[in-house]
A and B are shown apart, each in its own frame.
Chain A
């Protein structure tokens, strides 16, 4: 081969590599000056790196859209992400309280609980320097309703109107029942801590360019957004997203934080999977990790890395949601309480927690089962003593066998399996394929069956198939879906009410596309009545009695059972560069929750960070 060919190929290879590096610039949002400003590299001492939040490239920046795939920026949820856009209040999952963000002081209900009034902080400013006003809040709501955004469609059944009383005062009126009470006061108050306030002037610009068409408005990528939060867009391509601090951020006013958040840049490199993200965390290229890192404790115990979690020991984090095994109440025999109870009693939950979660969940001895997550706020909502006799911790094979024997469900033909009216009890436990922690849990559920004479096998359909089948609640579940796993709600201002409703309310049975819950088809009028009544209750004693009764019903009827506790967000930190992250013993008051310093009140953590080597 001639030298010429080698030379040409060499030049070609290098040229393509350089071209490839230039490819992402097509979607970059940088001006040459900005590039020069960072001299091609983000200063490590000014940048906080994340993983586990952003998967795949960013699609847009539109706060009216639910399709931005922009994990650091847009997430209107229980603990809303407030790095760029802001909500009037922010929720703190540790104490169950909301704190003012754009708002000034606490909100107030009127005497009938039909209207909320709150003030906007006069210091609040948009990134273009104009003031955030009550009119912006009202216009945001009107836009959400008019263009049927998720925030609008999701709340229009509960909120009648949001209006500006004066420049800084907002009134939120609830939708009313025929008797004049609010349909759901809980969801009205939740709106103001989970939904963004968006600038009216910018919204009008957006409406105009999308021709007042709902689809076009929601499909707009909104590169020119105006926001009120501490960070804004800096750089984005197929491999990363970087936000930069707005040094004119209004929140440095004494009425809010009194200073700017510490990191100048928030950056999230896009990893292909958990393994790649895990390697980066170990290498110190990630400061805050929101992904499941199996056996996380080995990173500091064996590898001696400066990595830590919110709690120093297992379960390492605060559980917020309750991954649950649902019984298909139409499967033969599962309509029998004895069968449901026996299976639930026999399951070895400690092994599930050790295997599936590598002990990153509290056990049922530490936090006895109920309908509540392990946060102190929710645990205080029910009378523990009243239901203590109903709370099983699992692995009770003898107890489970006794329950079945007493119910007359025994092995009549001597094949080793119990029969009900002559028909062998045989079930399939299922969850989506590839969800390894869930699959591990289902295997242990199946193993429990063998010990009590009930045949349980496992089957794992692909997620696309699984979710289509499980969420179609207007027809019976097909064969193979006898015991199946789904999630439950995490922590939020509507919890634990929302979670309980999703677990046991019969209102979802019969829906063509049921993404809410109660997939097993459970119906109990008493439970329904309590679920209906709780949002209107304001007396703590009455509320506690209602929640205790719901827990009693749930643990008595066992339409489904919790398998483990799972955190709202995983939260592990590498302290090679930054330190003073939220920790259970950090002494903050109110306590900063371990939600990656981006969600709800955990944003407060960004103001407390310190450099390891200043």
Chain B
């Protein structure tokens, strides 16, 4: 067990070092963008104002309020304090809303769109990949090229194709919004049905691309496993195919699980493309607005969340791997 502790502590140390580095970068990078966010806000709030000195006063008021006129190092400690208090201060572009509030109101949509899409894409993709490897022949000859073709679609391409075919030409699904343009959220069937219908295009635009990538990975892993000695030996022993497939599937699954965890980690970054093309509310849209408006606190907060999720997902996987696969622990601890 001593070896494992060593492995764990080493991983933990790396986790912390990466986190601190990422934390500092999350603060600095947005602020290195050229341009002045307070000038943008001043422009927005003083439209049509005739008093030149009045505009100047408003500019100074916002510089003071957001602290952009203070030295960078001072701003950094302010940021650290805010983060440890669990808030990220005022959002520049959504002022006077707090960053935490902005994120809270859009993260629900993102998770609701991304999480099921990732899971469904993963399940379907892996099933198809495993079947292709096992059945070979015609099935594989169709699945493989189609998967490669589909997985290489850029996300916006897939979204636009679905939008044009199923939204505009066939008119099967609505093309924008989270629910009907004339509805108010309520627990009625009409509303729930509207949500389900509006959900389809953004959902499948993410799922279809995920399926291709997962199927390719799973197929390769399965082919490798199917040729492994233990499969051949099991066949000699006369073990039923069904049982063997179970083993193969489980072994081939390991790297795919890692991929799944990482996808879930990056999920909160939002399905930017789907959100924009289908006018679907979500964190991707929010981050984009933050970047466009040079909303430092919002950019720092969202990137920090993404960083934390990815690092944590990675860390947890490594810890679990250490537990379930002694070889990893042994090599790492040396």
On A, residues with C-beta under 8 Å from B are 1, 5, 9, 12-14, 16-28, 30, 35, 38-42, 44, 47, 49, 56-57, 59-60, 65-67, 69, 77-78, 148, 150, 153-158, 184, 187, 190, 194, 215, 218-221, 235, 237-240, 242, 267, 269-273, 276, 279-280, 285, 462-465, 467-468, 471, 489, 492, 494, 498, 501, 507-508, 511-516
Contact = CB atoms under 8 A, between A and B. Distances in A.
Interface string B38-53: 0111111111111111
A203 to B, nearest CB: 17
B247 interface: no
The CB with the most chain B CB atoms within 10 A, among A38, A158, A238, A467, is that of A238
A477 B113 CA distance: 46
6 contacts: A153-B54, A154-B46, A187-B50, A513-B42, A515-B55, A515-B59
A500 to B, nearest CB: 12
Given A16-B112, A25-B185, A512 B56 contact: yes
A613 B314 CA distance: 61
Contact of B39 (A49, A59, A67, A513): A513
Contact of B37 (A30, A66, A464): A464
A67 B96 contact: yes
A512 B39 CA distance: 11
Given A35-B186, A40-B183, A150-B49, 14 more contacts: A16-B112, A16-B116, A17-B112, A21-B178, A26-B105, A59-B94, A59-B96, A69-B94, A150-B46, A150-B54, A187-B50, A279-B175, A468-B36, A471-B39
Interface residues of B, number: 78
B175 A242 contact: no
Contact of A494 (B50, B59, B182, B192): B50
Given A66-B44, A219-B96, A464-B294, A507 B52 contact: yes
A468 B185 contact: no
B260 interface: no
Contact of B35 (A60, A464, A508): A464
B31 to A, nearest CB: 12
Secondary structure of the B contact surface, majority rule = helix
A187 B58 CA distance: 19
A332 to B, nearest CB: 25
A30 B184 contact: yes
B294 A515 contact: no
A548 B64 CA distance: 43
A493 B164 CA distance: 46
B75 interface: no
Given A60-B96, A239-B177, A42 B184 contact: yes
A157 B57 CA distance: 12
A276 B176 contact: yes
Contacts of B127: 1
B66 to A, nearest CB: 11
Contacts of B48: 77-78, 194, 489, 492
B108 interface: yes
Contacts of A9: 119-120, 123
Secondary structure of the A contact surface, majority rule = mixed
Contacts of A467: 35-36, 39-40, 43
4 tightest A-B contacts by CB? Answer: A20-B112, A464-B35, A23-B108, A219-B96
Contacts of A187: 50-51
Interface of B: 33-37, 39-59, 61, 65, 90, 94-97, 104-106, 108-109, 111-113, 115-116, 119-120, 123, 127, 168, 175-186, 188, 190-192, 195-196, 199, 275-281, 285, 289, 292, 294
A17 B199 contact: yes
Given A150-B46, A467-B35, A467-B40, A269 B181 contact: yes
B60 to A, nearest CB: 9
A23 B186 contact: no
Contacts of B52: 507-508, 511, 514, 516
Given A35-B186, A464-B35, A1 B123 contact: yes
B189 to A, nearest CB: 9
A66 B57 CA distance: 14
Contacts of A508: 52
Given A150-B45, A271-B279, A157 B53 contact: yes
A38 B276 CA distance: 29
B56 A17 contact: no
Contacts of A501: 50
Nearest to B130: A1
A219 B55 CA distance: 19
Contacts of A515: 39, 42-43, 46, 55, 59
Nearest to B119: A9
Nearest to B280: A272
Contact of A12 (B33, B119, B186, B195): B119
Given A489-B48, A516-B52, A28 B185 contact: yes
B112 A23 contact: yes
Contacts of B36: 464, 467-468
Contacts of B192: 18, 21
Contact of B55 (A41, A42, A194, A513): A513
Contacts of A41: 180, 182-184, 190
A276 B175 contact: yes
Contacts of B292: 463-464
Nearest to A43: B182
A238 B106 contact: yes
A464 B58 contact: no
Contact of A468 (B39, B57, B276, B280): B39
A576 to B, nearest CB: 13
Contacts of B97: 59
Contact of B34 (A27, A30, A465, A512): A465
Contacts of A279: 168, 175-176
B185 A24 contact: yes
Nearest to A80: B48
A269 B178 CA distance: 10
A462 B54 contact: no
A1 B246 CA distance: 10
Contacts of A514: 52
A501 B51 CA distance: 11
B289 A56 contact: yes
B279 A276 contact: yes
A60 B52 CA distance: 27
A16 B109 CA distance: 9
Contacts of A271: 176, 279
Contact of B51 (A21, A57, A158, A221): A158
